Amino acid sequence: MSRGGTRYGAGRPGWHAKTGALPSIDLRRITRAKLMDCTLYWRWPSGGEPTATATTSMHDGFMRFEYARGGKHATEDVQIARTGCTYGGSRPWFRCPCCRRRCAVLYVGERLACRECYRLRYPSQSEDAGTRVWDRKRKLAKRLGCEAHEWDEAEKPRGMHWSTFERIRGELSDLDAWLDAQLVFLVARSRPGWLPLP
């Protein structure tokens, strides 16, 4: 029987490259701005100098990318796939040149590819549970028009249903309870024999 040990691919990797590490082109932004049929120029500066540049234009169902990164220039035609929408019309997607998956964002590295091909992770995927809870609190409090630490004093925003208001307050209360429990746990772990007052 294997005893385990250090080997390539063993266990969960402690670090992944994030989506912000590479220049990207988001087809959703192009579509929302109604610029699909336009020639677009892209530039990603870093420290005053461009790390990458690209020009995109549409040709017969393909988007042509002429891009430069790290002194290398390339031209690549990326197929645009479409899926139907519930209420009519269609939604465009890039067809990843490497794996042929549909994707909304392509990343400019050694070549054009999707997030899966570059094994990129979203920054939120590396956050711990406490950070995710605080992020959730901030988002819910913003819906009530207040800061995360002031939610219990917030009044119902105009136009919001009372049921929605109460549901948000209930979730915020649950999140506060979770954070309090974590604090008690951390203090108890750092001070053996310590118990909170009833």
The reported pLDDT for the residue numbered 53 is: 87
Which residues does 57 contact at the CB level (< 8 Å), separation at least 6?
A: 38, 39, 40, 63, 64
Number of structural domains in the chain: 2
**101 and 163 share one domain:** no
Amino acid 34 reads K
**112 and 39 share one domain:** yes
Choose one of 118, 153, 170: the last residue of a domain.
Answer: 118
**143 and 104 share one domain:** no
**103 and 142 share one domain:** no
- Domain range holding 67? 19-118
**49 and 96 share one domain:** yes
Closest CA to 53 of 88, 12, 23, 85: 23
162-190 helix and 129-143 helix, angle to the nearest 10 degrees:
150
Mean pLDDT per 10-residue interval, the chain, length 198 residues = 45 63 90 90 77 88 89 90 90 94 91 90 69 85 88 90 93 88 74 58
| Cα 65 from Cα 11, distance rounded (Å) | 38
104 domain-assigned: yes
105 domain-assigned: yes
Q: How many CB atoms lie within 10 A of CB 182?
A: 13
The reported pLDDT for the residue numbered 2 is: 44
The reported pLDDT for the residue numbered 47 is: 64
**182 and 91 share one domain:** no
Alpha helices, DSSP H, located in the chain: 27-32, 115-118, 129-143, 162-190
135 domain-assigned: yes
**52 and 33 share one domain:** yes
Q: What's this model's pTM, rounded to 2 decimal places?
A: 0.60
Q: How many CB atoms lie within 10 A of CB 145?
A: 14
